[in-house]
Amino acid sequence: MTDMSQSSSTKHTAGTLQQLKGTKPIPMLTAYTTPIARCLEQAGIPVILVGDSVGMVEMGLESTRQVTLTHMAYHIGAVRRGAPNTHIVGDLPLDSDRDPDTALASAERLLAAGADSVKLEGPKSEVIGALVGRGIAVVGHCGLTPQTAADFKQVGRDADEAERVAREAGEIAAAGAFMLVLEHVPDTLAERITASLAIPTIGIGAGPSCDGQVLVINDVLGLGEKWPPFSRQYAYLGKAVTEAAQAFVRQVTERSF
């Protein structure tokens, strides 16, 4: 059995993460900054996703579609400096994986910034195959795909749509992805896909039957005002930050600082 805890001098590879399927659930969180990445590594998180969600939760953008490769490389570098011994997955932003050549150049840039693997949305079998053929580890993503989705409704609720998602999951795995994110799909569909694949599935709003779970760190920490219906808050740091700032304002204005 593969031990999820890595020594201070080693980190998980695509191969060791794939071996965790059926042995130990895989916790994954996003990070975008050095201090948060350092905390996650100290907490024993085996995989950090530097997601294009950074655009919405850190940059104030309306969607992930406005995130660029430059943004992603910047944040991957920050996370790598905070978590040198953790496997980092870097998101390929919209259109940076539109064809094999573009995807290869984009992936190489994220790897150079500090990523160990890259994630892309949708059943892009040709692109995945080309990346894997060049020795680049790829994480797939199906179900709700925010880069192209018209809304954030659950995907796969009717039979036809469920079949499409299951088919896409199989295509992504067959193309060579070593792990698959399943986002906002019914629990029963996620369970079915997880059982059918030889690679680990990582759920976000996909029920408890996936091989692992991922959440956006800002949701976990309660940094913000609105959270997706499938997120979980483990703290409410937004309130703590506001209260700390209010205390500072009070001391300065009362000349008690």
pLDDT digits (tens, 9 = 90+) for 159-212: 999 999 999 999 999 999 999 999 999 999 999 999 999 999 999 999 999 999
Give the pLDDT band of residue 67 (cuts 50, 70, 90): very high
Name residues whose C-beta falls within 8 Å of residue 150's C-beta, 6 or more positions apart in sequence. Answer: none
Distance CA 139, CA 180 (A): 6
- Give the global pTM: 0.94
Give pLDDT, residue 228.
Answer: 77
Cβ-proximal residues to 96 (8 Å cutoff; 6+ apart), any chain:
69, 102, 103, 106
Match 């997880």 to its residue by tokens: 194
Confidence of residue 108 (pLDDT cuts 50, 70, 90): very high
Q: Provide Rg for the chain, Cα atoms.
A: 19
State which fold the 14-253 domain adopts.
TIM Barrel (3.20.20)
Q: In this predicted structure, what is the pLDDT of residue 150?
A: 86
User: Which one is catalytic: 183, 191, 243, 254?
Assistant: 183
% of the chain residues with pLDDT over 90: 91
Distance CA 203, CA 26 (A): 10
Q: What is residue 230's predicted lDDT score, i.e. its pLDDT?
A: 81
In the predicted model, is pLDDT for residue 8 greater than 70? no
58 to 3, 50, 72, 175: CA distances (angstroms)? 33, 12, 12, 32
Residue 245 — pLDDT band, cuts 50, 70, 90? Answer: very high
What three-state secondary structure class fits 3?
coil
The answer to whether residue 183 is catalytic is yes
* Domain-wise residue ranges, the chain: 14-253
CA distance 162 to 42: 38
Q: How many CB atoms lie within 10 A of CB 46?
A: 21
| Alpha carbon distance 69, 79 (integer Å) | 15
* pLDDT average, residue stretch 147-161: 93
Rounded CA separation 33/31 (Å): 6
State the greatest distance between any 2 C-alpha atoms of the chain, in Å, as a whole number: 66
